[in-house]
Amino acid sequence: MNHLPVECPRCAFAEISLLATSPVPGVWDVVQCGRCLYTWRTIEPARRTQRDAYPDTFKLTEADIENAIEVPAVPPLLK
Amino acid sequence: MAYDDLRSFLDTLEKEGQLLRITDEVLPEPDLAAAANATGRIGENAPALHFDNVKGFTDARIAMNVHGSWANHALALGLPKNTPVKEQVEEFARRWDAFPVAPERREDAPWRENTQEGEDVDVFSVLPLFRLNDGDGGFYLDKAAVVSRDPDDPDDFGKQNVGTYRIQVIGTNRLAFQPVPMHDVAQHLRKAEEKGEDLPIAITLGNDPVMAIVAGMPMAYDQSEYEMAGALRGAPAPIATAPLTGFDVPWGSEVVIEGVIESRKRQIEGPFGEFTGHYSGGRRMPVIRVDRVSYRTNPVFESLYLGMPWTECDYLVGPNTCVPLLKQLRAEFPEVQAVNAMYTHGLMVIISTAKRYGGFAKAVGMRAMTTPHGLGYVAQVILVDEDVDPFNLPQVMWAMSAKVNPKDDVVVIPNLSVLELAPAAQPAGISSKMIIDATTPVAPDIRGNFSTPAKDLPETAEWAARLQRLIAARG
């Protein structure tokens, strides 16, 4: 297919990259947001692929991503 | 009988009527996850599912719900498929006593048939990856046996860990990885990151059914999962040497992925619909660079649906969570009769125990919270008398309703540790914990009016076994 979506349904970032294409040519692509790493297959339902249908509860902002807690926390370096 | 790989177990499931082959074309999403989700809603003896006609794929083979019923769990242990749950747990505990059973090293692992290395690595070309729940951040490997070694003691076979952790695919050769701080691999990672070193790792997919059980089992840090697999199988576990890391990995795996957890790096991961029945994430988690993939020709991709319980995850980790707690409690409190830790990885545990003296049951409850697994999980404990079957929930509810005086029998302890995924934790990783003592008070704890209990007739146990045999013989 290779017509990349224009924005991430989850965080609205505009840089989307291609991760995989269907072994049967032209059926689907797997694409990924360059910021929040959300990954989706282009033939998934709209609630997973379209910004306006994506549930608000799962949407992320740039601040959400930057401020997310670390699990596990990076330990101090031994001296 | 012991199964050396996933395929031979799938053959047995099929012969026993416990494998459903779905040959009509299905969508990768949402059909695969929805079908596996549905197995948890159609009764306790649902079959495993096998898909080989998935839209857009040419040769995908996907197995789900392999452990997702009591019948399948029994067959995984080589027991008759109609074995009652309590008997499965008791047999599991009996076989534990054979631990450790040394593994058997073999050099002809079938996953040596195909290899991708370096820049040629592309996990999408090997695995038919797909999404489980609507809000998941991506596609996950969620039923792997992940192998890592203690960086300070890499030659200690017991400290080599085999565990199951959630793994998000975030690139053709990159994965995001969740080591909960209570888990062994998190200790390995901490030691490596304190030195600024990457942590080598091997991720094995599509394993024999006992390997999946021990990888999800809360064992002691220096106990070998392979030696436990041998005890549970009744035969040495077959292992092989992974070519890049040199780690010991299951001989029978469908796919072996090797690489490193990149030191001191965190990247956004999740959310993921977890075993708690809630999403967790997104959080900044460690990342893995994949350097080598080895795989059987036409590999079977085994995945597991999890979400609102009960799902396959609950059958897979239910009995294997009960038994370590049972063994650890009995070591100091032989009065403990049985432990049911089958609800949400043991966030809630039901323990039946005899009482040494007044207040004893509450002490057993507190000990459950301080076992290695309890530190991260056991948030609620219900204590019942020795004649109450903790797996029989109506009996447990009877004990709760008849024996609990809330003022004296409910104890809440604030600010104890729990895993971050627990939805009720506040802040994440901290929770109050509760003991409900539903046992009959004994001296010097003299309370209530319990002097005339109605007991089962003396002949009832014999009749229960007789009726079970008659029902099983009927088929």
User: Which of B135, B264, B281 minimises the CB distance to A74?
Assistant: B264
pLDDT number for residue B116: 98
In whole angstroms, what is the distance from residue B201 CA to residue B195 CA?
A: 17
Q: How many C-beta atoms surround the C-beta of residue B264 within 10 A? A: 16
Q: Which of B52, B49, B63 is nearest to B26 (CA)?
A: B52
Q: State the residue for tokens 């030191």.
A: B263
Beta strand B430-438 pairing with B380-385? parallel
At A6-55, the pLDDT tens digits run: 999 999 999 999 999 999 999 999 999 999 999 999 999 999 999 999 99
Measured at the alpha carbon of residue B407, what is the angle toward residues B402 and B412, in degrees to the nearest 5?
Answer: 105
In whole angstroms, what is the distance from residue B147 CA to residue B142 CA?
A: 14
User: What is the token pair recorded at B253?
Assistant: 């795996």
* A62 and chain B in contact, CB less than 8 A: no
Q: Which chain B residue lies closest to A27 (C-alpha atoms)? A: B56
Q: Which of B254, B284, B257, B233 is nearest to B102 (CA)?
A: B233
Strand, coil or helix: what is B342?
A: strand
In whole angstroms, what is the distance from residue B349 CA to residue B325 CA?
A: 9
Q: Which chain B residue lies closest to A1 (C-alpha atoms)? A: B56
Q: Which of A51, A54, A52, A31 is nearest to A42 (CA)?
A: A31
B193 is catalytic: no
pLDDT number for residue B262: 98
Q: What values do phi and psi take at B328, rounded to 5?
A: -70, -40
Whether residues A70 and B190 touch (CB distance < 8 A) is answered with: no
Measure in Å the smallest separation between the Cα of A4 and chain B Cα atoms.
16
pLDDT along chain B (475 residues), means of 10: 95 97 97 96 93 97 98 97 91 96 97 98 98 97 98 97 97 95 92 98 98 95 97 97 98 98 97 92 93 98 96 95 95 96 96 98 98 95 96 97 98 95 92 98 96 91 90 79
Strand partners, A17: A32
In whole angstroms, what is the distance from residue B194 CA to residue A74 CA?
A: 8
Q: Which chain A residue lies closest to B264 (C-alpha atoms)? A: A74
pLDDT number for residue A1: 60
Q: Is B72 left (phi over 0), alpha (psi -120 to 50) or beta?
A: alpha
Measure in Å the smallest separation between the Cα of A64 and chain B Cα atoms.
8
pLDDT number for residue A3: 80
Q: Looking at this predicted complex, what is its ipTM?
A: 0.97
- By 3-state DSSP, what share of chain B in percent is helix, strand and coil, each rounded to 5? 30, 25, 45
Q: State the residue for tokens 């200790």.
A: B187
Beta strand B287-295 pairing with B255-261? antiparallel
Assess whether the previous peptide bond of B100 is cis (omega < 30° from 0). Answer: yes
Strand, coil or helix: what is B331?
A: helix
Question: DSSP letter at A9?
Answer: T
Stated pTM of the model:
0.94
Q: pLDDT band at A2, cuts 50/70/90?
A: low
Whether residues B57 and A41 touch (CB distance < 8 A) is answered with: no
**Mean pLDDT across A62-78:** 93
Of B91, B258, B269, B274, the catalytic one is B274
